[in-house]
A = this chain, B = another copy of it.
Amino acid sequence: MRILLIGAGGVGGAFAAIAARRDFFEAIVIADYDAARAERAAAVDARFTAARVDASDPESVAALCREHRITHVMNAVDPRFVMPIFDGALAAGADYLDMAMSLSKRHPEDPYRKVGLKLGDEQFAKSGEWEAAGRLALVGIGVEPGLSNVLARYAADELFDHIDELGTRDGANLAVHDEHGNEIFAPSFSIWTTIEECLNPPVIWERSRQDVDGGWYTTEPFSEPEVFDFPEGIGPVECVNVEHEEVLMMPRWLEADRVTFKYGLGEEFIGVLRTLNTLGLDRTDKVRVGGVEVAPRDVVAAVLPDPATIGPIMTGKTCAGVWVRGTGKDGQPRSTYLYHVVDNEWSMAEYGHQCVVWQTAINPVIALELLARGDWSGAGVLGPETMPPKPFLDLLGEYGSPWGQMEVAAKE
């Protein structure tokens, strides 16, 4: 296996650090628009080399694949570049993995009730081409989507006879402090992606609505607030509906009546996102400022601390998982949360990477190891819930970061 890792940012760097401890691959070419950043990430292992790539150009991606005889392209840049990397991999005859899918476009007339172009639609539209070429695009294989989809498949296979709802729930008790001990505002994940996720109309899937738009519909941002009590000391966090890939992926392959995604943003963060939206600072089109042109959202990203650098000043744990409600194998009502928690102190001490990016990056490393072994395989554009979940969950434990499971009191 010869891997091309595109993107040497927070997640790409953590991917390289995790992969460096495994022996399932022959080589990894780490490519970034910023060649110096790629070189820093490549310095940790003799099997790594660095390259420069323009991720917006499928030809640049394909040329790099051919030059290095790449078998698997690992996309670790922001989702604006999904399509050129996805197309470049296929053009070069490589398999492909990503952690976020092609972007959505809101419904032009009724954006807060109806779906427009959905997350992943552009990729799923090309599934036939990938199947015909005998190549696999394993999409959405980060932590969410990714591990959440694996856990949902596990619940469907092993724990439930009937599923009422597959509800991905993400929460944390992370805090970042400056050198004087004052808490500062420093999101632990790409603010560009977070704004995209949180201000787009959240999407929900319901079986009962399948005759309209296939069952998918949208709501206003931050809808259906709910306090979810996260495990391992994180505690209760306010969660709201957010547009996320799981809702577009799980209903294609798993049986459930309803599929949702709620993110534990917390009140302060919701307030910040609302304000950015109110002022137009979430805009991605360029505005003229004095003599230059700049996209306001890029300015927001530029003034905030780089998520890849806040690890040493961050404390707390992050939790990803899926809350499954329905009828258990014993015919009784069941409500179970299957989850994965990472403590920032542990990931910093063990890998030197902060917990949120580390938790994202471990999943594609495991997936690639399963593909190398032949435990996972396939052709077409497929999600992690199409693959057997047990070998994945076993490897998670072997990598030193096991998953967990808890029963959740039912509530209305």
Residues of A within 8 A of B (CB): 185, 271-272, 275-276, 278-281, 283, 287-290, 292-296, 298-300, 302-304
Cα of A298 to Cα of B283 in the assembled complex, Å: 15
- A287 and B271 in contact, given A185-B278, A292-B294 (Cβ under 8 angstroms): no
Residue in B290, B293, B295, B300 whose CB lies within 8 Å of A281 = B300
Residue in B276, B279, B292, B304 whose CB lies within 8 Å of A280 = B304
B contact residues around A294 at 8 Å (CB)? 289-290, 292, 294, 299
Q: What distance in Å separates the Cβ of A199 from its nearest Cβ neighbour in chain B?
A: 14
- A299 and B281 in contact, given A292-B293, A292-B294, A293-B292 (Cβ under 8 angstroms): yes
B contact residues around A272 at 8 Å (CB)? 275, 278-279
B contact residues around A302 at 8 Å (CB)? 287-289
Q: What distance in Å separates the Cβ of A68 from its nearest Cβ neighbour in chain B?
A: 28
Q: What distance in Å separates the Cβ of A16 from its nearest Cβ neighbour in chain B?
A: 25
B contact residues around A299 at 8 Å (CB)? 281, 287, 289, 294, 296, 299
B contact residues around A275 at 8 Å (CB)? 271-272, 275-276
Which single residue of chain B is at the shortest CB-CB distance from A275? B275
Identify 16 new A-B residue pairs, CB closer than 8 A, beyond the known A275-B275, A279-B300: A185-B278, A185-B279, A275-B276, A279-B303, A280-B303, A280-B304, A283-B303, A287-B299, A287-B303, A289-B294, A290-B294, A292-B294, A294-B299, A296-B299, A296-B303, A299-B299
Which single residue of chain B is at the shortest CB-CB distance from A304? B279
Q: What distance in Å separates the Cβ of A178 from its nearest Cβ neighbour in chain B?
A: 12
Which single residue of chain B is at the shortest CB-CB distance from A305? B280
B contact residues around A271 at 8 Å (CB)? 271, 275
Q: Which 8 interchain pairs have the tightest Cβ spacing?
A: A280-B303, A292-B292, A275-B275, A289-B302, A185-B278, A299-B299, A287-B302, A289-B298
Cα of A279 to Cα of B290 in the assembled complex, Å: 22
Which single residue of chain B is at the shortest CB-CB distance from A299? B299
B contact residues around A293 at 8 Å (CB)? 292
Cα of A134 to Cα of B379 in the assembled complex, Å: 88
B contact residues around A278 at 8 Å (CB)? 185, 272
B contact residues around A300 at 8 Å (CB)? 279, 281
B contact residues around A290 at 8 Å (CB)? 294, 298
Which single residue of chain B is at the shortest CB-CB distance from A278? B185
B contact residues around A298 at 8 Å (CB)? 289-290
Cα of A265 to Cα of B314 in the assembled complex, Å: 34
Which single residue of chain B is at the shortest CB-CB distance from A289? B302
B contact residues around A288 at 8 Å (CB)? 302
Cα of A304 to Cα of B280 in the assembled complex, Å: 7
Q: What distance in Å separates the Cβ of A82 from its nearest Cβ neighbour in chain B?
A: 20
Cα of A54 to Cα of B200 in the assembled complex, Å: 43
Cα of A283 to Cα of B304 in the assembled complex, Å: 12
Cα of A296 to Cα of B287 in the assembled complex, Å: 12
Q: What distance in Å separates the Cβ of A203 from its nearest Cβ neighbour in chain B?
A: 23
Chain A to chain B contacts (Cβ below 8 Å), 20 pairs: A185-B279, A271-B275, A272-B275, A272-B278, A272-B279, A279-B303, A279-B304, A280-B303, A281-B281, A281-B300, A287-B303, A289-B294, A289-B295, A290-B294, A290-B298, A292-B294, A294-B299, A296-B299, A296-B303, A299-B299
